[in-house]
Amino acid sequence: MYVYVGNAITALGIILVSIYIWIASEEFPADGDQLPKFTAGMAILISMFLLADSFRNRNNKEKISIDFSYASKKQYVILLLSIAFVPSIFAIGFYTSAFLLLVLGALIVGIRSFKVIALTVLISLPLMYAFFELFLNAQLPKGLLI
């Protein structure tokens, strides 16, 4: 897909969302609609400039490149791991989940040195305990394990 097409689609999307915001704001009482309508109105105006600009640059044949290799997708796997991490800190405990996140995360992104992974875990988890639990008195969740 060309970049100018991507920009045009983005601009149209923003216009549609802004129209929704404007309509949804109509029911807000006590002038609660002012700022949402202001932002929606300005967004529509600016998106029209963006739309016009994208068509003005339609001779620019720069394309949005999409890389399907694993190396370019690792961050999405880490994102899924992070999403799974959140409920797990309450289920199995914060430190156990953190240990798994650090180890699995490093392996997923390509770190193969167990010495590096072990050092990271041995330094960061006690530091977190000392700083957050002892100094800040923030009780980190405990589940089935620590």
Partner 1 sequence: MDIVESFSYLGNILTLTNLLAMTLGVCVGLIIGAIPGLSPPMAIALLIPVSFKFEPATALILMVSCFAAGIYGGSFSAILLRTPGTSASAASAIEGYELTRQGRAIEAIQISTFASVMGGIISGFALLLFSRPLAEVSLWFGPAEFFLIALLGLTAIASVSFGHLSKGLISGLFGLFLSTVGVDHFSSFPRFTFDTIGLQAGVGILPAIVGLFAFAQGLELCEGDARGNISGLKSLSWRIWPKFSEMYKLRWSLIRGWACGLVVGIIPAAGASIAQWIAYAWEIRRAKPGDSFGKGEIKGLAATEGSNNGVTGTSLIPMFVLGIPGGISAAVILGALSIHGLQPGLRLFKNNPDVIYTIMWGFIGANVIMAFLAIIMARMFAYLTLVPRGVLGPLIILFSVVGVFAGTNNVNDIWIMIWFGVLGYFMQKYNFSTAGVLLGLVLGPIAEDGLRNLQTISDNAPLSFIMGRPVSLIILACIITILSFPLLRRRSERNRSL
**Interacting residues toward partner 1 by CB under 8 A:** 6, 10, 14, 21, 24-25, 28-32, 34-36, 38-40, 42-43, 46-47, 49-50, 53, 71-72, 74-75, 78-79, 82-83, 85-86, 89-90, 94, 98, 101-102, 105-106, 108-111, 116-117, 120, 124, 128, 132, 136, 138, 140-141
- For partner 1, the closer of residues 36 and 143 by Cβ is 36
Contacts of 26 (CB under 8 A, 6+ apart): 33
CB of 87 to partner 1, least distance (A): 9
Classified as helix, coil or strand, 2 is strand
- Amino acid at residue number 129: Y
Q: What is the dihedral of CA 122, 124, 129, 134, to 10 degrees?
A: 120
Please say which residue, 28 or 55, places its beta carbon nearer to partner 1.
Answer: 28
3-state secondary structure of 128: helix
Least distance (Å) between residue 61 CB and partner 1 = 18
Nearer of residues 2 and 132 to partner 1, judged by Cβ: 132
Report the b/e string of 94-110 with b at 16+ CB within 10 A.
Answer: bbbbbbebbbbbbeeee
Closest approach, Cβ 2 to partner 1, in A, equals 14
